[in-house]
Every structure is written in structure tokens, then in C-alpha cells.
Structure 1
Amino acid sequence: MKHYYVWITFLFFSSGFLSAQNIQQIDSINAILVQNSSLKTDSLLVIFKNNLKAAEQIDYKKGIGEAYKNIATIYGYEADSKKRVEYNLKAIRIFEENDLKPQAANLYGEMGYGMKRDNMERAQYYMNKGLKMAEEGNYKEVLDRTYNNYGVLKEMQGQLDSALYFYKKGLAIVEERNYTEGLPYSYSNLAGVYGQMGNYDLSREYFYKAKAIREKINDRKGIAENYTQIGEVYLAEGKPAEAIPFFEKSLPIARKEDYRFLMQYTYQQLSEAFKQMKQTDSALYYFEKYAVFKDSISSLETSKQIAALEVEFETEQKENQILKQRAQLAEKDLEVRRKNLYIYGSLGLAIVLGLLGYLIYSRQKLKNKQLQKESELQIALAKIETQNRLEEQRLRISRDLHDNIGSQLTFIIMSLDNLSYLLGDAGQQVKERIAAISTFTSVTINELRDTIWAMNKESISLEDLQARVAGIIDKAESTGTETQFRVEVDSIQEDFEFTALEGINIYRIIQEAVNNAIKYAQANRVDVMMQVDRDVFDVRITDDGRGFEEAQILSGNGLNNMRKRAADLNANLQIHSNPGAGTSIHLRKPLS
């Protein structure tokens, strides 16, 4: 009965410990800053959705809400407004139902900020609600962001003095908290207002200060934003040629970070810059790229804007053609001029039709590429999900082996020891048999541990294998054997790895060879040498022991087991031995 209560107590504390571990891991993942992350948005989406499942499994409300919020943020970067609002509302519901006021206040502010381009009235409603909650609770870590975001709403409505007031309030709290990651946002917001006020030099100065901090903390998305913002200042100053290089620096970073909204906006700014320079072909090119990304406006409006740029482009070409025709018509009569006008008019129409056909073909080709990438992404995500499930199953089986079979074997050893003690001096033969069973059980436990070690790894490196072989030698030396050992590893591929099944089979072959050299060959020296070449993995185990007749090789269970494991590895195993001349075992496995 005592044992029963002990196990209940152990399980209770174990459950509490594992739950605390899970909560800590969930909070750690939710704390990943999407803006500063080096991962693409698609990868982050998989991570946060898996984290949401983990939080739901243990009913961890704060973790569930934060996961919803992070998923909404990622959809915002992907310009999916519908899903962004959907997941934000789910998070708000969790925070309010569980009295998580700082989280609710912060998210209300974030929702208002996210809706600023879609619905300014609703954006101000959510922003005021979040600001009121944060001020009532004096949540400094929420107020700095909310003041800054509220300033953005004021700036978009042309209330520049109010925007400057809230930006400065936000900066004061950021500096008070010594929050380095928050400084670039405050600097960028101040820079934007100064630019609109016509103080272009001060505006660029603040944008450069923000970019310098983001480079230190490796905020790639923020760096891309600052490049676009500096370009906007030059564009507002009427210097489109100086703005273009900054837009071009922003695009590759935004593309690598999968920051689709910024790519869309930067393409629009490039189109405007080239338009101001009257380079209508480049303006049309970048507007087409902008239109591909812009999914929040109607297709009719997009078509109108594209048509306007096409008219400008065609007009410019036709004006050039007319100038050429006038020079030729001056030397020809009326009939020739009419004929030339007809020819050139037809040619111009053909060029325009050809250009339109090429644009339609390019757009369709780009759409097909996007569909192909989406399909490849779905396949990759399915593979990741399958691998995760296999990993969970493998870990569950290894825990069952360790917790159930391992504990039962340990109990058998303890029972055999107690039984041997109770027998006293009587039944010497029985005690010897009990000792043999106990020894066999201990060996079984060690082999079980080796198996669990392999199962707990997706792959086994040469270093792992070398460490495990060193463990065999340490055990042998602890028994008092006088045999000397030498282990050498030579590899030209530093990152080479085996699968878990290959690793355990190679380890078992080495273990059997070393044990045979110690127990039966009575060797004074045993050498284990492993080598990885470009095409082959080589293992040689040699000893200077008694050796044996070659004809006896087939009769040994240990040697047969070694051959079977080699066959499972698709490897070649050679065993050479002569009485008094030692034994050499050579395993050679081709690498695919």
C-alpha cells in the first residue's frame, strides 16, 4: 500500500513539472518578435499554429491568446485583412474572458493600428479602447506602443501636431524602460511627421538613427521599411532620382523576408518616382508589379490606373512616330503621305497589340508560378506535419521502453538480489544461477538504454558514435581489465550523420567485437578505427588475442548477429582470425 501512495505522489509532482515546462516553452515561442525574426512568414505561421495546438492541449489561456495574436500579425504581413481581424478577435475574446487586461489593452491598440487603411473610424474606436485600458492600468509596456500607433492614425488624418505629441509621449516611455527594440519605431514615426512638415533633413536623420539600431538587432523587416521611408522623403522633396536607389535597396530585403505588404507599397512608390521623371515605360513596369500584390482594391480601379499609364506610354511612342513622319512627308506628295500614315498607323497598332499580349502573357506566367509555389508549400507543410507526428510517436515509444520495461527489469534485479540474500549460505548452485540471471538482466538494461539512445535521435553523428564506443571502453576498464584500447576517427565530412537505425547497428557490431576481444580472446590491446571517405564508411576492430579457427566463425551466435546487422546495413563484413595471431573485423558500408 505504501508503494501505491509513493507512485501517486511521484506522478502528481511529475505532471506539475511537465505542465510548467510546457507553459515555459509556449511562452518562449510566443515571445518571438515577428518583426525581428529571420524566418519567413510561412515558416512562422507553421510554428505559431503548432504552438496554439500545444497551448490548447493543456488549456493554457494566455498561451492560446498570444498564439492567436501572433498568427493575426503574420496574416497582416501577408496582406490578408480578413484573417488578421478574425484571429485578433479570437485573441481578444480569450484575454477578456480570463481577465488578461495588459494583453487585451495591447491587442486593442494593435487592432486599431492594423485597420488604419481599411476603416479609420473603427481603427480609432479600437485604438481609444486600448489606450484607455492601458492608461487606467498604467501598463508602460503597452502605452509606449499604443501612443506611437495612435500618432500614426493622427498623422494619416493630417493632424501632424497631434501626431508629434503622441510620438514624443511614446518615445519618453521607451527611453524610460530602456527598451532598445522600441526606439526604431519612435524614431521612424517622428521622422515621418518631420518629413510631412517639410523638414526633410531632420526627417532623414531620424530614419537613419532607426536603421542603425535595427542593423544592430538584425531587424531585417525594419531595415527594409527604413529604406523605403528614406526614399519617400526624397520623393516628397521632389528628388525622384535620389529616391529610387533607396526603394531598390528595400525590395530584395522585403522579398527575402516575405514582407508582401512592403513590397506592394515600394513598387507603388517606384512607379510614382519614374512617373515624376516622365519615364512612363518604367512607371508602367513597376505599377504592374504593384498591382500583382495589391489585393485590397477592386480589379476595376486597378484596370483604370493601368490603362492611364498605358495611354501615357502609347502617346509618347505615337508622338515620336509623328515627328519622323513629318520629316518624310515634307518631301513627298499627298498620296505618299497618306500611304505612309496608313503604314505607320498599322505598325503602331501592331506594336501596341504585341505589347498588350506580352503583358497579359507575363501576368499569367507570374500567376502560374505563384500557384506552383503555393502547391509546393502545401506539400512541404504536409511533410513537416508527418515528420512531427513520427517524431512524437518515436519519443512516446522510447519513454514507454524507459519507464515501463526499464523499471520492470530494475525491479527483477532488486528481487534477485533480495532472494540471494535470503538464501544465505544454502543452495550455492541456486545462488550462482540467480547471479547469472541478475547479470544477464543488467546487460539487457544496458542494451535497452542503448536502443532508447538511438530512438531519441533523428540522426547519429560520428561524434555520437565515438562517445558511445568510449562508453563501452569505460565500462570495460572499470571492471579491472588490463586490456589497452585505442579509438581513432578520421572523417573528411565534418557534418556526416547516420540514420538512427544505421547508427545502432554499427554500434552493436563494434560492441560485440570489443566484448569478444575482452571476454574470449584475452587480448592485451584492442584498436577501433572509424573512417569516412567521400563514398565509404570504414570500421576496423583489431586485437592481439588468442584468435580462433576460421571454420568456427559460423558457429558463434555473436558473429552471426554481427553478419545479420551488416546485411541490414547493406554493408560488407569480413572476419579474419588465426590461433595465436589475433582477430580483425572489417565493416565497409557504401554511402549513398
Structure 2
Amino acid sequence: MKRKLLSLTFLLLTSFCLSQDNSKIIDSLKRVIQSKPSDSIKIKAYSDLCWYYRTISIDSAFRYGNLTLKLSKETDNKSGEAQAYNDIGILHYDLADYDEALKQYRTSLKLRNVLNDTMGIAALYNKIGLIHQNTFKLDSAIFYATKALKIYEGKNHTRYVAYIKTNIANIYRGLKQYQKALDTHLEIAEVNKSIKDNLGLTRTYNNIANAYLFLKDTIQSEAYYLKSIDLAVKHNYKKELAGLYNNYGGILHDMQKYTKAIEYNAKALKLRNELNDNYGITSTSLHLAGLYIDLKDYAKAKNYLYDGLNLSEKFNINELKMDAYDKMASFYAFKRIPDSVMYYKELYKSLNDTIYNSRITKEIAEIQEKYDTVEREKEIQTQRAEIAEKELKLNRKNTQIIGLVVLAVLLFVLGYLLYNQQKLKNRQLEKENELKHALAEIETHNKLQDQRLRISRDLHDNIGAQLTFIISSIENLQYGFKITNDKLKDKLTGIGAFTKDTIYELRDTIWAMNKNEITLEDLQGRISNFIDKANLSSSDLNFNIKIDEGLLTELVYTSVQGMNIYRIIQEAVNNAIKYGEASCIYVLIENKNNKIVFSIKDDGKGFDINDIEEGNGLNNMKKRASDIDADIVFNSEKGKGTSIILSI
């Protein structure tokens, strides 16, 4: 048989009662868990078990709530985790442990905001509002209730709107706006009837009865209490019935029907013990204590009084603590123990001042009228005036402090803005100076480049043209005149060759001048051109140039560096041809120990480094190497060739 699990996401403090017996539902849920379902189904089952165990075993309810939370975290089920915190918060609320309940609700609210679960968010706003309502923080209570109401109205959920309006009406009652509370409850009753919400109608009749009671219409109040009790008994609403018995007992108390009032309050206390309703147990115990005080049965009154007092202090329920202190003062007044009367009156006054901003309530005034002298009444009035004056002074000081803090913040913000503005100006000035400097450098560079280009054009157009004219003139002399003098012929030929070499060197110089940077690839091309020309002059020579892979794209030299490297290689090759009479020349460029090494080797006749007198060629190479901060080494031995190694 296929079972469908419903995840009970309860949007209000109390879920809608089901007609099924809770024990049967619990057994059904346990069978689902035993069937080893998926994690998501198991989480829902744990959550439902937490809810149904609320009225049976609070320990079991906590156990399944914690299992829901644990499994949700392990499986990263954020929806299940939010529901677990919500359920555990409800359990703490039932125990009147409001601080812990509020903590759990807020954790659930964070998760539901992330999940964008608007209905879950509305339910939590309502629950948080109820906690503030029960702890007399009525401004916070109406704030959260209103937030929940807006969501439900936006979703057009009539039933939930009615429940939230009920809570808001109860807050009006707490603010002593009794007629406004009554009107709202009467409106809600009509909505409950239209949607056949018997549970909601039961609660609304109870609230209407309470409103009439505050308006001192005992007849109408009793009528609505009895209507509500009939509905609760008919539908077995135990929790609501417990509250109704308690409230109706209060009416009977006011009507001085003490025996019947005790009977109804005893019924309420029994149900509230079954439900583990700590707030209700405390409230009803104090009602019974009051009844027995009126009956002058002080022994029974004392037991109920201390039960109510201890529970109200244990669970920090301010409203009920005030009631307990009030009744304890009355109890000891009847017992004629003035020290205890004063002790509990002071406790009552202190708590009342905290809750109501130092205003003395009507109940204390009545007790004081019974048991205090006129002199004590004057003292209280004086104390009240002093407290009001102190509050006024405190408010003035607070206003001054706030004003000083605001002024300090404004000064700080103003100072910070001025500091940032000055800092921005300084930064802008720095950037402007950097830009001016960069523009000046660019302008200088452009001027130098123009000058270099002008010089290179002059060299090419003037000097080059003149050298070419010299060569042409020598050739015309050789061919135009029949020169028979061999020495003269040789001299003219030598001058022509020297002039051609000068033109080549001039072109190399112009090539270097026209470049800002010279790459290794540029050098390779220039060296290859030079070697090709050398090959043309001697067919017996064998040249070989080799460069390590990867160096061509990596290395870049300035024009000065590139030209000097080229001239050193050129001089080395010329020396090998002219003086070394070499047949093979190798040019090798490689990377060694983070240095680029240019090696020029030949198989010529070599020379003795120690014996030879250094000429212009070797000295020029050394000077060029020094100019570019490079190292140059000459290795040569007679009959074994020469190697020149340049490292940069």
C-alpha cells in the first residue's frame, strides 16, 4: 500500500487538530521509517513524529526533533533543517522556555529567508510575536504580528489571516484597548463560521469572553465562555479546553462561586499537566491559590502559591511572577505577617516598574489602600514623582549623549571626507607630474630620434654619395686612361676597395642608428649578410653560424649594444680571413649560466698571445666589449687556430 507523507509545516503556534488518534499516527510514521525510505521522506517522518509527540512525551518530541536536524544537516537539506529548528522552538515555547524558543525561531527564520519560503517566514513572524506578547514586549509583538499578517493577506489565506488578527486583537487587550479587541474578535468569529473553522471559532469565543470581562460585562463574558467550552468538549480540543476551564473559573471566582470555581480550575490544572503546559500550569496554580485565600484555607493556598511562584520564576514569566508576588502579599496580609507583605510588595513593585516604566498599577494601589497608612501613600506618591524626575533627567542626558555621538560621527565623517579629498588631490598631482615627466621623456626621445634620422640621412645622402663618387672616379681613371704603372694601378684598386668597405660600414652604422632596439634575429641577419659577402671574396672559405633555439624571440639589445656586438664579430671574422688565413670559420651564439655567449672560432694559423703586439683590431674589440659591459676572451695558439668569446 503506497503511503503519502505530509510534511507538517505549522504556520501558527498550534496546528489544526486532526481527527485521528495521535498514537495511531505515530505508529504509522514509525513503520514508514522502518521501511528504510529516502532521506527526504525520513526527515519528514521525523518532523511529524516530533509534532505528534508534543502532547504525549516531550522527551520523545525533542529526540525526533534533533534527529530531523541531524539528518537534514548531513544531507544538506536546508528545508528540513529550517523545519527542525521551527519544531524544536515550538517545544521550548510549550515549556515556556521563551529565550531558547526565540533562538530556535530566529535560526529557522534565517534559513527560510535564504529559501524564500514566504509562508514559513510568516509563521515564524507570528511565533516570535507570540513570545514577545507572553513576555509583555507588546510593541515588538504587534510589529511581528503585522509582518506576518501582510504576508498572509498577500497570499489570500483567509484562515491564517484570521489567526493573526486574533493575536493582534489579544495585543490590543494587553494595551488595554478592550473595545478595539472585542470588535476585532467579533469580526474574526464571523470569518471562522464562514470557513467552518471550529478550532478557530472555539478560540475566538474564548477571546470574546475575555474582552467582555475586561469591559466588565460579566453576563456576556460567561455566555461566550460556555459557548467555547461546548465546542471544545464536542471536538476534544484539550489544550483550548484547559484554558477555558481556567478562564471560566476566574469568572466564577469574581461571582464568588468559589467551590464551582475551584472545580473548573482543578479540571484546567489536570489537563495542563497532561499537556506539559508550563505557562498554563503556573497560571492555574495561582488562580487556585487565590480561590483558597478567599476561602481562608491558607494551607492549600500556600501549596498552590509556591508552586505558581516557583514555576513563574523558573520560566521567567513576568506576567505570572507579578500575579504570584501580588497573591503572596495578600496571603501574608491575611496571615498578618507584615515583613513578608512588604517583601512581596517590593518585588511586585520592582517588576512592575520594569515592565510598565515605573507606573504603579491599579492592583498595587488596591493592596496599598487595604494595608498601608496614609503616610505610606504619600511616600509612594513622592517616590513616583522622584522616579518621573529621574526619568526626565535620564532622558535629557540620553538626548545630550545621542546629540554628542551624532556630532562626533558627523565630524568624523566630515574629517574623513576632507582627508579623502586631499588624498585624491595629492594623487591627481602625482599623476599629473608623472604624466608631465613621461611627456617630457617622450618629447626628448622624439627629438633624439629625429636627430638620429637626420644624421643617418645626411650620412647616406652626403657621405655615401661622396664615397660612391670616389669609387666611380677611380673606376673612370682606371678605364678611361691607360695606366701602365702597376704600382699606381694597385694603389687605385686599394683605394677603391677601401672606399667600398667604408660604404658597407657606413650602411651598418646607419642601420644601427635607425633602430631603437636590435633583436638577436636582426644580428643574425646582419652577420649572415656580412658572411655572404666574405664568401664572395674567397670561395675556399667555409662559414657556419648557429644560434640556440628560443634565443631569437627572447633577446633584445639597444642599438649601441647591437652595433658593438656586430662590429666585434665582424672584426673577428676579418682577422681570421686577413691574418689567420683560415679555411673554416664558426660563429656560435648560446646561453650559458644566464649569459649570452658569442663564440667566433677559426682553423687558421693562430698566434701566440704573449708574443704578439696588440694592434688596433684587438684593442677595438676590447674597447667595444667594455663599452657594453661585456667580457671578451682571446684564445689562440700557433698552428691551432683562434677563438674569441664575447659574454654579455
TM tier, smaller: 0.3 to 0.5
Q: Normalising by the residue count of structure 1, what TM-score does the alignment of the two structures yield?
A: 0.46
